[in-house]
Structure formats: C-alpha cells, structure tokens
C-alpha cells in the first residue's frame, strides 16, 4: 500500500481555471465590442474607421477612452495570467489524512470530511454567513453563475475532446471534478484531466475512503 504522507499524490488543477479565465475574458470582450460598435454610441458611418475612432477618443471623454484602455489592459493581463498558470499551476496534494489545495491554501482533514462526490464543475468553499460576499454570490448565482458555469464547462468539454483526439492519454468524463467537503464548509476540488489522474485518484479513494469514482454520488451545487 502506498504511504501518501511520504509520497503525496499531486494533481494539477490548472485546466478548468484556465477555461474559467478564458470565458470571463470573452464576456468582457463581447461587452466592449457590443458597446463600441453596436450600441449606437458612435456612428461609424461618418467616415473612415481611424478618423471616427480618434475623433471619438477626443470627444467622448473617459467613457470611450476608458473602455478602450480597459479592453487592452484586460487582454494583456489575461495573457500574462495564462503564462503564470502554465508555469506555476495550481496543485492539489492528497495525503493519508488530509487533502491540500496549494494556491487556495485550503486543507480538509480526513476526520472532518463530510462527503466526497463527483461534480460537473468545481464547488465553492466556505462563504461567511451574512457577508456581502455571500449576498453577491447568491444574487449573481441566480442569473450569471449558471450561464458562466455552463459555457465554461462546455468549452472545457470541447477542449478535452480535441485533446483526446490528439493524445490518447487524456480522458473524457462529464463529472470530472472530485470534491472533498468538510464540516467547516471547506471544499477542495480535484480536476481529473488524464487517464493517469483518474487511475491514481481512484486508487487513493479506494485505499483511504473505500470509495471508487464510478460509485460516487453526483454533486450539482456550486456552493452550500
């Protein structure tokens, strides 16, 4: 039997985070493009594109110039954030008595784990009761979060299908996130990308929890 304290199982949690960042950037870019070209703020038929563009920069004030600057900054930031995620990916370490998510600095102890489930998307962890953060999460959750999660995971599924066609080491499963949830409302998500990830996490669950991925209950909630 493997000693997961001496040799912890490490799983990279990077792929789905990159997909979430990409979809969020698409939301921002789509809004800026709509506001610039289709909202009627600027009449682009008045002349050449360059003439109308620079005239708008001079006459529309910060409303237009700020949006252009924000568009450029957001895309540059997204590019460097992608490089950072590729160079220093988020990792989850699975040990005998705990599971640790490094970049989020979240640890769930085995003795405190309430359940382990498989999920379509990562689950949010603890949100303080009565906090402004909780208010906004539930307010946005009614409208934006479901759409964001659906689009992000649809894109992730398409990307995994393409990866699978290129490299047979990848594994396509719909419920690809294993969620460890404890009695303190902490959640650690383990995203399964490859066949090796699936096999190793399954062995870990079998040895430490007497569970198998295919028999885990399914989770559909993004917070609790």
Instruction: Write the pLDDT tens digit of every residue in 122-169.
Output: 887 665 555 555 555 555 555 666 677 777 777 777 877 787 778 777
Residues 118-124, mean pLDDT to the nearest whole number: 84
**Three-class secondary structure of residue 217 per DSSP:** coil
Shortest CA distance to 209 belongs to which of 102, 107, 113?
113
- Rounded-to-integer distance, Cα 154 and Cα 116, Å: 24
Domain layout of the chain by residue ranges: 9-219
- Where helices occur in 38-127 by DSSP H, the ranges are 49-59, 62-87
pLDDT band at 95 (very low <50, low <70, confident <90, very high): very high
Using a pLDDT cut of 90, give the percent of the chain over it.
29
Helices (runs of H) and strands (runs of E) counted in the chain: 5, 8
The mean-pLDDT minimum among 12-16, 104-108, 149-153 falls in: 149-153
- Rounded-to-integer distance, Cα 111 and Cα 116, Å: 12
- Rounded-to-integer distance, Cα 70 and Cα 47, Å: 25
Shortest CA distance to 111 belongs to which of 39, 209, 33, 210?
209
State the angle between helix axes of 49-59 and 62-87 in degrees (0 to 180), rounded to the nearest 10: 100
């Amino acid at each position: 039997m493997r000693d997961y304290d001496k040799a912890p199982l490490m799983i990279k949690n990077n792929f789905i985070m990159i997909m979430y960042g990409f979809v969020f950037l698409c939301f921002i870019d789509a809004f800026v493009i709509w506001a610039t070209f289709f909202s009627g703020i600027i009449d682009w038929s008045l002349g050449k594109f360059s003439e109308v563009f620079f005239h708008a920069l001079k006459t529309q004030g910060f409303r237009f110039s700020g949006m252009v600057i924000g568009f450029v900054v957001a895309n540059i930031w997204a590019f460097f954030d992608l490089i950072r995620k590729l160079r220093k990916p988020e990792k989850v370490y699975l040990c005998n008595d705990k599971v640790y998510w490094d970049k989020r600095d979240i640890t769930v102890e085995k003795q405190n784990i309430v359940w382990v489930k498989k999920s379509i998307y990562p689950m949010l962890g603890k949100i303080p009761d009565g906090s402004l953060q909780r208010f906004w999460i539930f307010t946005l959750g009614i409208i934006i979060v479901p759409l964001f999660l659906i689009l992000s995971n649809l894109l992730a599924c398409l990307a995994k299908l393409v990866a699978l066609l290129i490299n047979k080491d990848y594994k396509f499963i719909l419920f690809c996130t294993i969620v460890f949830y404890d009695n303190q409302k902490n959640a650690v998500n383990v995203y399964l990308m490859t066949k090796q990830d699936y096999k190793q996490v399954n062995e870990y669950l079998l040895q430490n929890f007497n569970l198998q991925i295919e028999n885990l209950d399914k989770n559909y909630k993004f917070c609790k």
